[in-house]
Amino acid sequence: MRSLVAYRMLLHDRASTAGSVLGVVAILFLVGQQLSTMFGLFTYMSVLVDHSDADIWICGKFTDNANSTGQLPTRYVDRINGLAEIEWSEPVITTAGETRRKDGKSEGVVVVGLPAPRLSGGPWAFEQGSIESLLDYDGITVDNRDLELFGNPELGDVFEVNKKRVRINAVTKKITSFGGTLVFTNRTKAREISNLPPGRCSYILVKLKPEVDVDEAIAKIRALLPRAEVFPKDVLSRLTRAYYLINTGIGFSFGFTTLMSSLVGIVIITLTMYTSILNREKDFAVLRALGGRKKDIFVIVLYQAVMIAAVGIFLGFLLLAFFLNGTRDSNLASFVPLWFPFVHAAFTLALCLVGSLFAIRRATRIEPATAFR
Amino acid sequence: MPKPILELEGISRDFSDGKVTQRVLSDVNLAFYAGEFAIVAGPSGSGKTTLLSIMGLILRPSEGRIFIQGQDVTDLPEDKEATLRLENFGFVFQTPTEIPALTIIENILVANAVQGTKLPRGLKEKALTLLGDFGLSEYAYVKPRTLSTGQKQRVAIARALINDPVLVLCDEPTSALDAESSAVVLDTLKQLSRDDRRGVVLVTHDPRVFPYGDRLITLEHGAVVHDSRETVRERAPA
């Protein structure tokens, strides 16, 4: 009966209920939008690590993020190839570049040079062409999201990176880096484009044999290469994200806007639910006079908070889904991990309950004697 | 001598605004019985509603003891008071107090299930029977706003009866009604008081209500100045 009373009161007080639901929707959508953008940016930050088909990254000393790995000697590959645990290891070159478009404008790019013929660490999704096209000496990829930046070129178009001739042989699909526009080519072309001296590379990718213990392999590699940083893939991914979160203003910015969005939502919920209780003061007094205890009133208002949260969370997720779907093919970074909807729903429910505390407190303090007034 | 349903011993009640304390009830000693329609009369501010609130365990007395069927309930915790209230009393308030969000029948049933207990088997049928007794069957599933004030007060009486209370407490139930509706409500309460399982106590300042009661208690300045039951007992031969 208490849940029925709660539900009916909500329906009866449409304006207050709508206001409270709006507060929940605000929390869920605004926080969700912020965090989905942040998670999207996370994926950009560590995109090369996350999608590399390697188990281990070997980088220059003091490397703390995958987009700035320093340099190391290519001969390190020979030193570690003798280890039984290793299936293969390949050096990769990354360098900053400047392209000149057909119309004369220039764009900055990050060039990733992949070792032939395996082309490990390379692009994983294509809209046009395939990874094999990078075996062509001049071959380069551009991403479908960056086509406009390059003046909407077509496959086979030729342009320059750092005044070196390249040909668009493939168009990747939604491969974006936090560090800038990503283009992939073969290592030979990348060395030509960069100022990297011969015998140097940016990092080394290592694939272990099946069933090999990663930590043991890493220990052995570290023993062989004391002047390099050796990371398991997931650790480097986490470090890279942490680097940008802490060292740029991103963490604070997202954290602050998430906090503000939550506060706005809580304030809306608090005010609307409290107002609703004031409007229903006589009803609650009557319920108390009829034999309702304080805890029964508490349960009724709590039911209301949960119902409001449920509707608001549903509508909020609907809105968020529309937003994410609408921006799926845009340059806006958006990503929602599998666990996020559940955690976010729980978080929003918790905030709604926090917002309802004042209303609960007010309702449980209504004296039954008020029914006589 | 029948045993009283409710006894008040030395009941006093003070109200304070932090600066001034006012004694609203002073040393009230009363007992109420089943089969009795008691009317508590007095001018505004005489303490009638405060007395009713204390009787219904809604307000605590500043002094004195309350007994329900011989049990001292004066110092019970709030939760137990609420449960006793639900089990023993039915209330009819001065103005209709149906919860507008609930249908008529839900308003009656909530008086039984407000503590979250499951509705007993047959209670819904009992509620419908009560509505039928008051000529309100057709309104069972509508919201209170479609009813007149007189109809709402009859619903309030039906709600007050749903738990078979030993005492029905009415706070000026006819003050908002016209003469015809008042008569209907008072007749209904009179009929209820004939049941020897329960008593009815009605608080009013309207002398037109007095003839309906079996017993008249008059309050002035918080004290009982007249109790027709005592007068009858005094006059009765030893």
Spatial separation of the C-alpha atoms in residues B16 and B31, rounded to whole Å: 27
Give the other-Cβ count within 10 Å of A94's Cβ.
24
ipTM, 2 decimals?
0.89
Mean pLDDT of the A127-149 span? 88
Model confidence band, residue A177 (pLDDT cutoffs 50, 70, 90): confident
pLDDT tens sequence across A28-67: 999 999 999 988 888 888 899 998 889 999 999 999 898 8
8 Å CB contact between B55 and B202: no
* Contact yes or no for B85 and A8 at CB 8 A: no
B162-183 pLDDT per residue, tens: 999 999 999 998 888 888 888 8
Spatial distance between the Cα atoms of A225 and A203, rounded to a whole number of angstroms: 13
Which segments of chain A are extended strands (E)?
56-60, 72-73, 86-100, 106-114, 126-128, 139-143, 158-161, 164-172, 181-186, 200-201, 203-208, 228-232
- Cα separation of B10 and B8, whole Å? 7
Which chain B residues have any C-beta within 8 angstroms of a chain A C-beta? 49, 52-53, 56, 58-59, 78-79, 82-83, 85-87, 91, 93-94, 97, 99-102, 106, 109-111, 113-116, 119, 159, 171
CA atoms within 13 A on the CB side of B205: 12
Residue of B nearest to A367 (CA): B58
Peptide bond into A117 cis (omega under 30): yes
Query: Taking CB atoms and an 8 Å cutoff, what residues of chain B touch A292?
Result: 82, 114-115
Cα–Cα separations (whole angstroms), residue A371 to A190, A282, A284, B90, B108 = 82, 6, 8, 13, 16
Specify the pLDDT at position B231.
59
Neighboring chain B residues of A294 at a CB cutoff of 8 Å: 78-79
pLDDT in tens, B70-125: 899 999 999 999 999 999 999 998 888 899 999 999 999 999 989 988 888 999 99
| Contacts B101 to A, Cβ<8 Å | 5, 8-9, 11-13, 283
Q: Which of A286, A298, A307 would you mutate first to test chain B, the one with the most B CBs within 10 A?
A: A286
Which pLDDT value is given to residue A119? 85
The crossing angle, in degrees rounded to 10, of helices A294-326 and A250-279 is: 140
* CB–CB contact A372 B78 (8 Å): no
Q: How close A369 comes to chain B (CA, Å)?
A: 6
Which contiguous run of DSSP H or E holds residue A235?
Answer: helix A233-247
Distance from CA of A311 to the nearest CA of B (A): 19
Nearest to A41 by CA among A332, A238, A275: A332
For the residues A268-274, what does the mean pLDDT come to? 91
